[in-house]
Amino acid sequence: MTATPRPGPPAAAAAAAQHRARAAGPALPRAPPPAPTPAPAEKDRTDSNVRMAVTLEEAPWLGWILVKALMRFAFMVANNLVAIPSYICYVIMLQPLRVLDSKRFWYIEGIMYKWLLGMVASWGWYAGYTVMEWGEDIKAISKDEAVMLVNHQATGDVCTLMMCLQDKGLVVAQIMWLMDHIFKYTNFGIVSLIHGDFFIRQGKSHRDQQLVFLKKHLENNYRSRGRKWIVLFPEGGFLRKRRETSQTFAKKNNLPFLTHVTLPRIGATKIILSALVARQENGSPAGGDTKELDSKSKGLQWVIDTTIAYPKAEPMDIQTWILGYRKPTVTHVHYRVFPVKDVPLETDDLTDWLYQRFTEKEDLLSHFYETGTQCPVTYIPEATPSSKGVL
């Protein structure tokens, strides 16, 4: 039977405890208690402080970008308020010349039109947006009639081409643009209407009617106004809007599956070729290296396959071009020239030909986005005047 010790006085109990501690040896140090986990609200406040610090560091740079954008916008508004009304006034004043000598009138109008497009191109140049051109030399055919088939990614494509074509002789003065009808309602819309550009309304419900209008427009305005080049975006819309529809169509019809471009639409290209390609006596198309016909115009002679590539696949819109808030960028443009006699005019053959061109664009863009450089694609270069070759 074990006896239970009787409780002693407090002093005796303390002494006994001290004696037991000495007998047990020195006490091991205790680990500090874990820090309490911050509450969600406290954590959010910490993250906000970090973000605020980063924002404050970037504030001077962001402030400068904002001030610069506002200054550019104000300058361009003033620029448009002077340049566009001046263009309109000169066109009105020259109407008697249009009656007496239509050819000279449209030549003068084209020169003024080129100045206006040069003004737009300068906006991008001052912001550090420049162009690197690759492929074949299109300046060598600037005096011939040609159609440019261009991939379409954003509104900045038009501005990029304005910059590219400024040094190609009188091309800009004698060009006709085929663009989305939304451009009609921009500040430049009235100028394009006077110049004779064609605005296409997109959508399946409008497609057939628009092709009829395009044919009539070419008959009435192309050669009568001394036009020689046409810019066409065969995809029929921006890449981001048409890519999914194009890929779905490609899967259903066992066609090339494209990511960086979309399958082109045939209608406008066929109308242009049918209306503008001159015919020889045997009915074959005249163009390229064929002998000059007896008529005043040799007709459409060249098809220029044009590919626009933006670094990191980030297209530039017209707002960026105007406000200049993106860092300086070099846009790459690749040209390949085909004599029109080598382009099929029948619908099925023309469809296959266009699909092949856009498949080549896909390969070219894929390589560019992966490496940052242009490359040759798997085709044999056609014979063209003063060709630089394909890079």
For residue 353, what are the CA distances in angstroms to 136, 269, 277?
A: 19, 11, 17
Sign of CA dihedral 21, 26, 28, 29: positive
Rg (CA), the chain: 34
Sequence-ordered list of residues with C-beta below 8 angstroms from that of 37, at least 6 positions apart, any chain: none
User: Degrees (nearest 5) of the Cα angle 188, 189, 194?
Assistant: 105
H/E stretch holding 149 reads strand 145-150
Residues 166 and 333: their CA atoms lie apart, in Å, by 14
83 SS3 class: helix
Give which of 179, 171, 102, 152 is closest to 262, Cα–Cα: 152
Tens digits of pLDDT across the chain (391 residues): 444 444 444 444 444 445 454 444 444 445 555 555 555 444 444 444 444 444 666 677 777 788 888 888 898 899 889 999 999 999 999 999 999 999 999 999 999 999 999 998 998 888 899 999 999 999 999 999 999 999 999 989 999 999 999 999 999 999 999 988 877 887 788 999 999 999 988 777 778 888 999 999 999 999 999 999 999 999 988 898 889 999 999 999 999 999 999 999 999 999 999 999 876 544 455 554 433 433 456 899 999 999 999 999 999 988 888 888 888 999 999 999 999 999 999 999 999 999 999 999 999 999 999 987 765 444 434 433 333 333 2
pLDDT at 352: 94
Adjacent-strand bridge partners of 332: 132, 309
Residues 8 and 12: their CA atoms lie apart, in Å, by 6
